[in-house]
Amino acid sequence: MQEHGQQFEVRDTGFWLGGLSLRRPRPGVRGHSPGRLDDRLCGVAAEGDPRITNQASYLQGATFEWRSWSSDQPDWDHDHCEFCWVHFGDHVFSDDADTQLEGWTTTDGQHWVCRTCFADFRERFEFQTVNAAP
C-alpha cells in the first residue's frame, strides 16, 4: 500500500512505514507506549510519521509546562498524548501499565504530550516551555 509516497504494509508483528517498524501495543494493553516506535524513528520527527495528524493546527508554537496529571472535573479520569495516545492519569490504570503520571501540557491544561513525543516533535512544532522536565 502506498501512503504519501511511502511504502506502508501491515505485517503480523506491526506496521512497516518506509522500512521503519511501528510495533503494535502489547496484547491486553490499551493505547500506545511512549517510545514504542522503532529506535531509528525516536528523537526525530520523520516525514510521514504516522503520529502526526492535524496537531499543527492547534499545537504549532504552543507553550508547555511539565507537571503531574490532574483534573478539576470529578468525572474526568484521564487524558491522552496528542500524538501517540498513551494515557495520562493520577494513577497507573490496572489495564495500562504504561499510564503516564506526569508529562508536558499546554499552559491551559487542554493538551498533553508524553516525554517521547515532546522530544520527537519539539523542533518541528516549535514548542516553547515555561519550566524543565525532571
Closest CA to 129 of 85, 81, 64: 64
Write the pLDDT tens digit of every residue in 34-51. 444 443 344 456 678 999
Report yes or no on 29 lying in a domain: yes
Report yes or no on 90 lying in a domain: yes
Report yes or no on 70 lying in a domain: yes
Mean pLDDT for 104-118 is 97
Closest CA to 100 of 34, 8, 15: 34
Report yes or no on 134 lying in a domain: no
Tell me what the pLDDT averaged over the chain comes to. 77
Closest CA to 28 of 98, 113, 76, 101: 98
- Structural domain tally of the chain? 1
* Residue 132 exposed, middle or buried by CB count within 10 Å (0-12, 13-18, 19+): exposed
Distance, in Å, from the CA atom of 19 to the CA atom of 46, rounded to the nearest integer, reads: 12
Q: Is the pLDDT of residue 107 over 60?
A: yes
Q: How long, in residues, is the chain?
A: 134
Which domain does 44 fall in, by range? 2-129
Q: Is the pLDDT of residue 97 over 80?
A: yes
CA 43, distance to chain mean position in Å, is: 12
